[in-house]
Amino acid sequence: MYRDVKLISRNPVSIGTNSTFIRAGQLSEKRAVVDLSLEIEHNPEESKKITLLTEVLSAQGAVLASKRTTLNALKAGLHPLDQQIVLINPILWGIENPYQYTAKIKLIVDGQVVDEQLTKFGLRNFSFDQQQGFMLNGRPLKIRGVCLHSDLGALGMAFNRSAALRQLRIMKEMGVNGIRTSHNPAAPAFLDLCDSLGFVVMSETFDVWKGRKNPYDYHLYWDEWYKRDFVDHIKRDRNHPSLFIWCLGNEAQEQWHSKADGAAIPIALAAIVDSLDGTRPTTIANNELSKANPVLMSSAVDLIGYNYNHKKWASFPQDHPEKKFIVTESTSALESRGTYDLVPYDSSRMWPERWDIPFSGGNKDRNISAYDNVFTPWGSNHQTSLRLMEKYDHIAGMYVWTGFDYLGEPTPYTWPARSSYFGIVDLAGFPKDVYYLYQSVWTEKPVLHVLPHWNWKQGDRVDIVVYFNQADRVELYLNGKRIREQSKDPDRYDLVFKAVEFKPGEIEVISFQGGKKLLSKTIRTAAKAHRIQLFAENVTFNSAKKELSFVHAYIVDEFGTIVPYADDKIEFEVEGDGAKILATDNGNTTDLTSFQSASRNAFHGKALAIVTSKNKVKIQVRAKSEGLISGDIQLEAN
């Protein structure tokens, strides 16, 4: 069991489970007409007067408007009820200001409140267009999204609000404004977070339809369960303002193996969406782009979704005239944080060469260079797909595979690799270098990120890569000596100083706009490991709400520089009544140490400890390793 399970006890007269649906019937800057519909579940043979009172509350809890509806002498059964409530000068929900109202709904029978419900909702105008892509509240907006699996790394599949919030904040800081819940319904609390942070969510229900992908997958239950499961999913989540798109399936086998089902299933699923929602478009994630694919060509689906196939994005308006387009899944590039192969940065390596042929190449340690030059045969490197998506207005947006590494699918390797390499952020939550590529394009914050580290062999020639924005050129210095200056290619988001000869010391990169110096970044050659440095993402956390603290451990030299090859074993300890190390990680896909272990080898100088507490208490966290000075930090669970 990895999601909350609720047992609901109700009065004989109550509001039907997940029957409440709130949406804007009319919406402008000056006035909103809010449509509310629900069902009253009536079990007695007959009752006297029934009143439904709805109050719309501001984000601060003030009553802005109300509606009272009275019914007389209902008989047993389900009874639909509709209300309209007018709001003056409504505040719209958006990615920068995700404002939410609350509908406080009371069901009153014979003067007594027998049921009460609080439902949050947001008001927004949006549309998809063949030429302009996506529009939110009257303005064009590129959906700059990522796909997220529902596991939480070292914490496994059980949903944890604190860990999910951390993931979403890391994505937001990168400039992400969209999340695809691949490939199953997200926890309601996850969507609550997306509502409050401002994400454009593509909500996905099925990875499998009637045609099997694996012997024991959902195809075994399709005929009996798909309709009930889909209805329950839509009714449960349709009030979330962050939810913009219903994705009906992912890479369904019906694209190839059953034209009859491939034609019929999209029609059936889209009809369910239209009957229960009708305010959001549908899409399907297709990886077969032949016009013989009945799923791709279904007229029942509102948005055509492509998985990968980036070379066909530009020609979409000619390939599918009058259709609207979104990239449901892209990229599938491969990296291990902190690993760099001494091969030219502008080289390309496709691992594996074909999806259906076992991979026997790669690196002996099963790591992959973080230079953004390794990718799968169905995908691309990050730079390529990113540039295409940003270039063409008809592309509403894309969802990169994936925001975080996740458990399973260790493409291109097999066991003992046990988690993915696709993530822009590793399993422990440490960003890989391409994180800053996206941040330089998707945010307004000044960015200057330099890779790789500067610990090499004498005489090695190293490509130095720079991700930066808001500047037109950068200068490179080695041990105080100016090496060269370069300007950014307008057709690229990066800049490369090729084959710089390694000499111990430091490299410094300075960015300029015109003649003005903007930012500088220095990378030093690390000496031998000397001590452990601890850093907490959140020094205080709420124990009653089961919040967590995420503590970074860095192995540094005597000057505080992270030692890039350090893999020392770190022992984490906590002092404090009720406090404990819940899990540890390091982002290494081949580390088979139990996540529940309080000890963890560093991976490229870094490790993570996740701390929890049952009680309100001051907590001392210590990290020690043989031959190194220990690190300490104090947390507080309140």
Active site positions, annotated = 251, 329
Instruction: Report yes or no: 36 and 21 within 8 Å, Cβ to Cβ.
Output: yes
The CA distance from 455 to 435, in Å, is 22
> How many whole angstroms separate alpha carbon 499 and alpha carbon 343?
10
How far is CA 602 from each of CA 271, 331, 418, 564, rounded to the nearest angstrom?
52, 28, 17, 10
What is the C-alpha separation between 304 and 298, in angstroms, rounded? 9
Are 293 and 320 spatial neighbours (Cβ–Cβ below 8 Å)? no
142 contact partners, CB below 8 Å, separation of at least 6: 133, 134, 389, 390, 395, 396, 397
Compute CA distances 109 → 32, 47, 115, 169, whole Å: 30, 8, 9, 44
**Nearest alpha-carbon partner for 442 in 392, 491, 490, 386:** 386
- Pinpoint the alpha helices (H) of 30-120: none
Phi, psi at residue 396, to the nearest 5°? -65, -30
Q: Is 437 helix (H, G, I), strand (E, B) or coil?
A: helix
How many other C-beta atoms lie within 10 A of the C-beta of residue 233?
21
Those residues whose C-beta lies under 8 Å from the C-beta of residue 152, and which sit 6 or more positions away, are 158, 159, 160, 163, 164, 167
3-state SS, one letter per residue, for 361-376? CCCCCCCCCCCCCEEC
The CA distance from 326 to 73, in Å, is 50
3-class SS letters over 116-154 = EEEEEECCCCEEEECCCEEEECCEECCEEEEEECCCCHH
> What is the Cα–Cα distance from 20 to 15, expressed in whole angstroms?
8
> Which DSSP symbol is given to 63?
E
501: tokens are: 């000869």
- Kindly give, in sequence order, each residue whose CB lies less than 8 Å from that of residue 621, ignoring residues fewer than 6 positions away: 534, 536, 551, 572, 573, 574, 609, 611, 632, 633, 634, 635
Contact 56, 101 (CB under 8 A): yes
Exposure string of 19-48, with b = 16+ CB inside 10 Å and e = fewer, is bbbbbbeebeeeebebebebbbbbeeeebe
Q: Please state, in angstroms and rounded to a whole number, the distance separating the CA atoms of residues 143 and 338.
A: 29
